[in-house]
Structure 1
């Protein structure tokens, strides 16, 4: 048996925000011998909990493994769109210059297959476990459903990044299957994902097992099944799954957008699935030696002017894209001239940081308020008690809207967008409580929200988009809703919108034909022409070197 970790996986009530004392703490081992794991139901549950550990960082690893959940998830989904930017090695993301030896791509491959490996070992042992060890006749099926859903989720993530990937199934690991070829068609990958997530959907409840929030649920399975069907362009099936989620009443929009990323606040009514990083007894340097449930988002996202590392800046194009009245701007970003509403620090008042860009690589002086919530290192807060909300109800609503438009149900599609915008303008905030932002940021009366279809008709024409208005509306609403989260580039790729996006939102014009010109205007200099092959990423070099059934000829086109 190897290192003992803590896995924090739950709250007692979905509709409330509670203190850390309300969370269930589950001890588990990262590896349990099979002849031990399946002797008792308690040990089976410990083995299952080890699968949930794979959502967390690997503080006992190295490199980008220590920021799993940030790199490459946030980078692939955001820096690739240019709405988020970074310097140094990380600048390759917004320059579309990533290569097969990119460290965070290797992390994505390794960490995802770590989850697949554990799931396969667990499922193989569960198949032969004596039914008499389970107190409830349904328990074994529920454990299997969670494990299969975790495997399906990881294969879906790998597929979005890399396309066709080797499919290790129950009992197979990279130890038993040293070489594993990529399938001939991505349809084989899709079929395995669908089978796993469908099993989870059919055997799990809307509420998590034993009330332990953080476990896989029916809503999780339906949400990712819908995502899979949308990738397959089967919008009718996706619409059915998403409508079930909407009609279930399990989730609803958090009244205040600004509360979604409050520190040590977990499982708001909007969360479909999140990875929780809690307040622990010690959050300073060296805390990682005791737990993998640590993340240093605050340092990575805070302004370098005030002690941050600059791993995530926001573009001026993103900041300038908001309509007047859209409060997602003030809840998502602090830019040059803005005062941070929590720390009181003003951006752009220090020499060397007082321009539209700062540093030798000209990073925008715009920063994410979603993750920069206190002064880096203040009160020994090196690591931050946050949640990485991988799937939230606002995403379900916009996915449902997309499926409605694709199936000629335009009225429902615009209604979903209307509800998202109503929250964005603050019309759900009356009577709400602000968690860590100042209370005076809340609306005290309702305001009028511009009609989305009218606005985006004009926006489409002004920007030069050629896609239908509803596609433009969805991608810009997703832009404003999910900046620095987990989906935007993948949505652009799935919708076939990348080429239009870069032409419209980051155009190459006479006015910004050089970096020097951009420094004067705040425009981002685009180093690349978008190519369709860049909508998936290269198979990591290490996989090609170590897997005898994958060679350079199997590499994704263009790399």
Structure 2
């Protein structure tokens, strides 16, 4: 299987595009390709395909290792997860947990620039494509679909992060259009994005051009089209019925006609041998090819930063990503999504907390990252992981994501190959979004919608693994063995080549409580104000998509964020977090803050661009 994102895609001399917005004073400091005028880009199919690769290049982090190359983790984690409080941070990063981000937040500016760089390239590419008469018609058609879908992808992040943003159309860049007002209304903005996606859908196939996974497909365009219609319904309530109906139709095509299917095991989704499995609709693969043990800046940017950000600091990580005990306690005993998502430090008297954390001490990820074979704290006085929290100047939950800290250890000495998968859209996104549409259209109760949620819960409890353990082991274990062999060959005594998958595959079917029954009881227990279906859809999102950048946007457009913060993170009086597992929320949630501030630098340089209220 070919994979476009298997390494950085650089369009070489054919990427003759506007490189940035007005936010970059150095945009003219680029190589001049006087001998390769832009018309060469469209003289052959191969050249045009390379040109489109220059747009895809902006879906990857900057590879120069200068500190601005974090796209795919920052700002995406900060804007897409931290506001939910299910993921947390320390130092200045903790402002993203307490609604204290501001116009001068560097991460917001970095994301703004990254997206408008991609949009500028897409606009130049699409403008040239309009008069390209030497290309094979089928190739030209596909490339137009890719260009429109890619532009919509970048606009989706901007629109779901900042609210209304400037909309640059085909041919417009911040070089030739340095002053541009924001979209006048939410409807204008979302209609622009929807038009791109509706145009892209018939131009694209279900399988990517030349079987290069990482290129936009019909499934990707339809999934983002459904998302765009749901956002339009949220921003423009007067369009709700029409918009939700169209969103549902887009999702139904993906479910009925797409080539996608659930992985049998949730736990394998982030494995090195799981890239572009059939569950993936749109993912970003951070990968430096086959380089092992490299430590230069360009490789470190793509393959290593997510590992450092995610790992326990006692094991070589930086500690930008912690998961909350409130999130951990949301799982039922036997839900393998918890173990497949995180490892914890050991805690004192763990058995006393079984009612909060069902099965914690029996978990293969309790006090250990089984994928890297590293212990995580020991809960004693000589460890910075004390009871429920890690302490390194500030307290943070002693839970770390193994979605990213999985394929390599976090030390700086001789780092192993560490591909990382960033899922933007996978099949469960479509299943839960479609379920939400059906609930809205059918008065809050729909058998098909409940059935989709039950399918995810059935997978979560390991029932799809039953009868397939040998098949799953054969596919996924070799990647784990290769990683551990790397460390064993270096003489590290704590490594042993595994003969079984780190989280055992289930061999016996279990009965899973139907979603409707379980969430009816949970709503009553916790006092949620939302309808039962809304609790079900969004609590499943918390369990399914922790540390995936869709979490905050999906919960926001569902209208669940305020309810979630109020009841999952109630204000408490505890001041000593070493004696309680819970988060200490001190702020009052403001829904208006979910429209994040337009970066100050943009406001200064683009005189037509105004600021969001409250900033």
Residue 341 in 1 paired to residue 370 in 2? yes
TM-score of the pair, normalised by structure 2: 0.83
Q: Of residues 455, 469, 475 in structure 1, which corresponds to 2:518? A: 455
| Other-structure match for 2:70 | 67
The Cα RMSD (Å) is 2.1
Once the two structures are TM-superposed, the CA of residue 41 in structure 1 deviates from its matched residue by: 2.4
| Other-structure match for 2:531 | 468
2:286/2:302 contact within 8 Å kept:
yes
Residue 513 in 1 paired to residue 496 in 2? no
Counterparts in 2 of 1:289 and 1:278: CA distance versus 1, 3 Å: closer
Counterparts in 2 of 1:256 and 1:112: CA distance versus 1, 3 Å: same
What residue ranges of structure 2 are gaps of 5+ in the alignment? 17-36, 234-242, 347-365, 481-499
| CA distance in structure 1 between the aligned counterparts of 2:231 and 2:8, rounded to whole angstroms | 36
Q: For residues 231-250 of structure 1, what are the structure 2 equivalents within 5 Å?
A: 231-233=231-233, 234-250=243-259
Q: Give the secondary-structure state (helix, strand or coil) at the position aligned to 1:272.
A: strand
Once the two structures are TM-superposed, the CA of residue 35 in structure 1 deviates from its matched residue by: 3.2
| CA distance in structure 2 between the aligned counterparts of 1:506 and 1:24, rounded to whole angstroms | 40
Q: Give the secondary-structure state (helix, strand or coil) at the position aligned to 1:387.
A: strand
Counterparts in 2 of 1:147 and 1:478: CA distance versus 1, 3 Å: same
Once the two structures are TM-superposed, the CA of residue 513 in structure 1 deviates from its matched residue by: 1.4
1:482/1:488 contact within 8 Å kept:
yes
Residue 44 in 1 paired to residue 48 in 2? yes
Residue 557 in 1 paired to residue 613 in 2? yes
| CA distance in structure 2 between the aligned counterparts of 1:249 and 1:152, rounded to whole angstroms | 20
Residue 322 in 1 paired to residue 331 in 2? yes
| Other-structure match for 2:461 | 425
Q: Of residues 357, 364, 384 in structure 2, which corresponds to 1:352? A: 384
2:7/2:287 contact within 8 Å kept:
no
Deviations 1:282-327 (A, max 9, x none): 3556434479754521111111111111010111111111111111
| CA distance in structure 2 between the aligned counterparts of 1:427 and 1:56, rounded to whole angstroms | 35
| CA distance in structure 2 between the aligned counterparts of 1:534 and 1:320, rounded to whole angstroms | 27
Q: Give the secondary-structure state (helix, strand or coil) at the position aligned to 1:522.
A: coil
Q: Of residues 101, 121, 126 in structure 1, which corresponds to 2:124? A: 121
Once the two structures are TM-superposed, the CA of residue 232 in structure 1 deviates from its matched residue by: 1.7
Q: Of residues 551, 557, 566 in structure 2, which corresponds to 1:494? A: 557
Q: Give the secondary-structure state (helix, strand or coil) at the position aligned to 1:101.
A: coil
| CA distance in structure 2 between the aligned counterparts of 1:329 and 1:286, rounded to whole angstroms | 32
Counterparts in 2 of 1:410 and 1:348: CA distance versus 1, 3 Å: same
Q: Give the secondary-structure state (helix, strand or coil) at the position aligned to 1:107.
A: helix
Deviations 1:437-463 (A, max 9, x none): 643610011111112111111111111
| CA distance in structure 2 between the aligned counterparts of 1:336 and 1:72, rounded to whole angstroms | 27
Deviations 1:341-379 (A, max 9, x none): 123323221522233112222011111111111321377
Residue 53 in 1 paired to residue 43 in 2? no
| Other-structure match for 1:78 | 81
Residue 107 in 1 paired to residue 110 in 2? yes
Q: For residues 161-180 of structure 1, what are the structure 2 equivalents within 5 Å?
A: 161-180=161-180
Once the two structures are TM-superposed, the CA of residue 60 in structure 1 deviates from its matched residue by: 2.0
| Other-structure match for 2:436 | 402
Q: 280-289 or 410-419: which moved more?
A: 280-289
| Other-structure match for 2:196 | 196
Once the two structures are TM-superposed, the CA of residue 389 in structure 1 deviates from its matched residue by: 1.4
2:343/2:399 contact within 8 Å kept:
yes
Deviations 1:467-517 (A, max 9, x none): 110100111100000000111111121111111111110001xxx31432x
Number of equivalenced pairs: 531
Once the two structures are TM-superposed, the CA of residue 61 in structure 1 deviates from its matched residue by: 6.3
Q: For residues 200-219 of structure 1, what are the structure 2 equivalents within 5 Å?
A: 200-219=200-219
Once the two structures are TM-superposed, the CA of residue 416 in structure 1 deviates from its matched residue by: 0.3
Residue 31 in 1 paired to residue 9 in 2? no
| Other-structure match for 2:308 | 299
Counterparts in 2 of 1:25 and 1:488: CA distance versus 1, 3 Å: closer
| CA distance in structure 2 between the aligned counterparts of 1:249 and 1:31, rounded to whole angstroms | 32
Q: 518-527 or 371-380: which moved more?
A: 371-380
| CA distance in structure 2 between the aligned counterparts of 1:121 and 1:258, rounded to whole angstroms | 41
| Other-structure match for 2:398 | 365
| CA distance in structure 2 between the aligned counterparts of 1:290 and 1:321, rounded to whole angstroms | 37
| CA distance in structure 2 between the aligned counterparts of 1:125 and 1:372, rounded to whole angstroms | 42
| CA distance in structure 1 between the aligned counterparts of 2:181 and 2:10, rounded to whole angstroms | 36
Counterparts in 2 of 1:304 and 1:61: CA distance versus 1, 3 Å: closer
| CA distance in structure 1 between the aligned counterparts of 2:2 and 2:78, rounded to whole angstroms | 25
1:9/1:25 contact within 8 Å kept:
no
Residue 271 in 1 paired to residue 280 in 2? yes
TM-score of the pair, normalised by structure 1: 0.91
| CA distance in structure 2 between the aligned counterparts of 1:487 and 1:240, rounded to whole angstroms | 21
| CA distance in structure 2 between the aligned counterparts of 1:278 and 1:40, rounded to whole angstroms | 29
| CA distance in structure 1 between the aligned counterparts of 2:302 and 2:202, rounded to whole angstroms | 30
Residue 480 in 1 paired to residue 521 in 2? no
| CA distance in structure 2 between the aligned counterparts of 1:416 and 1:476, rounded to whole angstroms | 14
1:166/1:182 contact within 8 Å kept:
yes
Q: For residues 133-172 of structure 1, what are the structure 2 equivalents within 5 Å?
A: 133-134=134-135, 136-172=136-172
Counterparts in 2 of 1:61 and 1:539: CA distance versus 1, 3 Å: farther
